[in-house]
A and B are shown apart, each in its own frame.
Chain A
Amino acid sequence: MSITQPEIEHVARLARLALSDTEKELFTGQMSAILRYVETLNELDTDGIIPTAHAVPVENSFRPDAVQPSIGTDQALRNAPDRVETFFRVPPVIE
C-alpha cells in the first residue's frame, strides 16, 4: 500500500519528530516503497503460527533485592543539557 503525506505527519507526531517539508515528501515516497516490499510477507499463511518475540527462551530473571553501588546523582546529571540542583530542568509542561 501507499502511505500519504497526512499519514506521514501523523506518524512523525507519534514519533516526536519534527520533519521538514522536504523530509515529508522524501519519506512519503520511500516508506511507500518499503511498505510495498514488506507486504510480500502476506504471501505466507501464518494462521496458527506462534509469534517469536525473543529467539532464545529465557525465563524471568530475578536477583536478590539488595542495595548495589550505583553511579550517584552527580554522575547521573553530568550529561544533562540543563539542570538545577539535583533535578533535570525542562521547558514549561503546562501553559
Chain B
Amino acid sequence: MELHTLTIHHLHQLLKNRQVTSREVTTAMLNRIEFSDPRINAFITVAADQALAAAAAADQRIASGDCQPLTGIPLALKDIFLTEGLRTTCASRMLADFIAPYDATAWARLKSQGAVLLGKLNQDEFAMGSSCENSAFGPTRNPWDIERTPGGSSGGSAAAIAAQQATATLGTDTGGSIRQPASHCGCVGLKPTYGRVSRYGVIAYASSLDQVGPVTRDVTDAALLLQVIAGHDPKDSTSVAMPVPDYVASLKNDVKGMKIGLPKEYFIAGLDPDVQRAMDDAIAHLKAQGAEFVEVSLPHTTYAVACYYLIATAEASSNLARYEGVRFGHRATGSQGLIEMMMQTRAEGFGAEVKRRIMLGTYALSSGYYDAYYLKAQKVRTLIQRDFTEAFKSVDILLTPVAPTPAFKIGEKAADPLQMYLSDIFTIPVNLAGICGISLPAQPSSNGLPIGLQLIGRPFGEETILRAAYSFEQTTDWHRTKAAL
C-alpha cells in the first residue's frame, strides 16, 4: 500500500485498527518529500526529527486506546503559521531566522489531537501573490507540470498534496490563496467564513480578509480538519462565538432540490474554453443528482479586484509596519541612526511585491488620498457584500469557476503585477463579503491540467457547500487522479 497517497479518514482507520503505525506513515511521507521536493520545492523547512518523535508519541497514544481523527496523521503548514521552536519565515528574508515562541491556535488544536508536523510550506512572501513565485526561498513548481506555477499564495500547501508529500495541509486565504492553488493542483481547498477559524499566531497580511483553511485530497478530509480548527478563540477577538456544527455529519450525498445560482458575471465571453467545459460538466453532474440551477447576478463583480487591492494593501501597510529591525527579524547593519536603520532593514528584508503593496497601501491611506481610495473601496465593499446577500435570497449556494484559466507558466505574469492581480477575479469577492467558498477538482483541461470548481455559501454556511461538494465528488473521479512524478 502506498501510504503517502491516502486520505486522513483512510489512514485513521488503518491507525485505529493497528494496521499501520504513525511512524511508518510519517517515514513514508518524509521519503516522499526527499524523493520529490528537489523538483517541486514545496517545503521551506522539513522537520524530520521532530516529526518522527511526534509520530512515536502518537503511536503510544494510540496503543493506550486514544485515537482521535488526527492522531498520528502527518500534516504540513504554510510557513505563515507560528510553530513553537520551529523556524517560521513567511517566505521572507525578513524572517529567515525567526524561531516562533508559541503555536498558532489552528495548529495547537491539531497538535493536541496528536497530529504530526512534517514541516513548513512555501508561499508567496507574506501571502502576497498568486503564483508562489514571490518567495525568498525560490518558486514552488506545480507537480502536474513543473514548468507551471502551483498558484498562490498557499502554493506549497497545494503542491505538497498533489506531490503526495503530506496527507493534508493548512493554508490561508485573503483573496483566493487557498482556493486558487487548490484549483491549479487538483486538490480540495476550503476558505471558511471570516471569523470561523482563529487567526491567532497567523502572520497578518490583511486582517479584515485573512482566514485559515484546509487543503486536502477530498471533501471528507476538509470537513475533518475544519471540525478541529473551527471555533471561538479568546486570543482572537475576531473569531466568532458561534457553535461549531458537526461538519462530518453534513457530508450527505444529497443535493435534491438544492438551488444553485450561476452568477452571470462569472460566465463571461472569453472564459478559457477548458474552464467553461469543466463548469458545464459539473452543472450536468449536479443537475442529474437533482439540483436546480438558476441564473443570478452579482453586478459589482467587475469592481472587486480594484476594491481588494486598495483594502488589502492598506491593511498590509499597517500590519507590516512591525518589521522594523528592533524586536525580531532582520536588521540592516552599518546604518546611522534609528530611522535609517529601519529604512535599510525593510529595503533588504522585503521582496519587490511586498514593497509594491506597502507603497500602494501607504499611498491609499495617506493624507489627501484616504477618502478617494481607501474609503471609496470600503463603500464598494458594501455593494459587493450586498450583491451576495441579494443572491442568497433566492439560492442556497453559488457555483463558479475558481480561476479564469488552468495553472499558468512560471514567469508568464511576473513582469505585470496587474495581470497577476486579475487572476484572482473569481475568488476575491468571497473574501470581501466575508463568506465561505470551497474549491474542488472538476474535469481537467484538454492537456491534463487540473481545473477547480468553486461552491460559495452563505456566512457560516460551510455545511451546505460541503454537502454539495461531497455529492459532486461521489459522481466523479477527478480527485483520485494523481500527478505523475
Write the residues of chain A forming the contact surface with B, with a CB cutoff of 8 angstroms: 3, 7-8, 11-12, 14-20, 23, 26-27, 30-31, 33-35, 37-44, 46, 49-56, 58, 61, 63, 71, 75-76, 78-82, 88, 90-93, 95
| Cα–Cα distance between A41 and B371 once the two chains are bound (Å) | 12
- B376 and A42 within 8 A (CB): yes
Known: A55-B385, A75-B101. A23 touches B325 (CB 8 A): no
CB < 8 Å neighbour of B362 from A14, A23, A33, A42:
A14
**B382 contacts partner chain A, Cβ-Cβ < 8 Å:** yes
A/B interface sample: 21 pairs, CB < 8 A = A15-B346, A17-B346, A18-B344, A23-B355, A34-B309, A38-B306, A40-B306, A41-B306, A42-B376, A46-B383, A53-B378, A54-B238, A55-B385, A55-B434, A56-B194, A56-B195, A71-B102, A79-B99, A81-B329, A90-B326, A90-B341
Count contacts between A and B, CB distance < 8 Å. Answer: 166
Q: A18 contacts B417, CB within 8 Å? A: no
Contact A90 B378 (CB under 8 A): no
Query: Chain B interface secondary structure, helix, strand, loop or mixed?
Result: helix
Task: Return chain B residues, CB-CB under 8 Å to A82.
Answer: 331
Least CB distance from B459 to A in Å reads 7
- CB-contacts of B323-362 with A (<8 A): 324-331, 335-344, 346-347, 350, 352, 355-356, 358-360, 362
Identify the B interface with A (CB < 8 A): 97-99, 101-102, 193-195, 208-209, 234, 237-238, 240, 300, 302-303, 305-307, 309-310, 317, 321, 324-331, 335-344, 346-347, 350, 352, 355-356, 358-360, 362-363, 366, 373, 375-383, 385, 417-418, 421, 432-435, 459
Q: Name the distance in Å between B107's Cβ and chain A's nearest Cβ.
A: 16
Give, as a whole number of angstroms, the nearest-CB distance from B381 to chain A: 4
Contacts of A40 in B (CB 8 A): 302-303, 306
Contact partner, B328, options A17, A18, A38, A79, Cβ 8 Å: A79
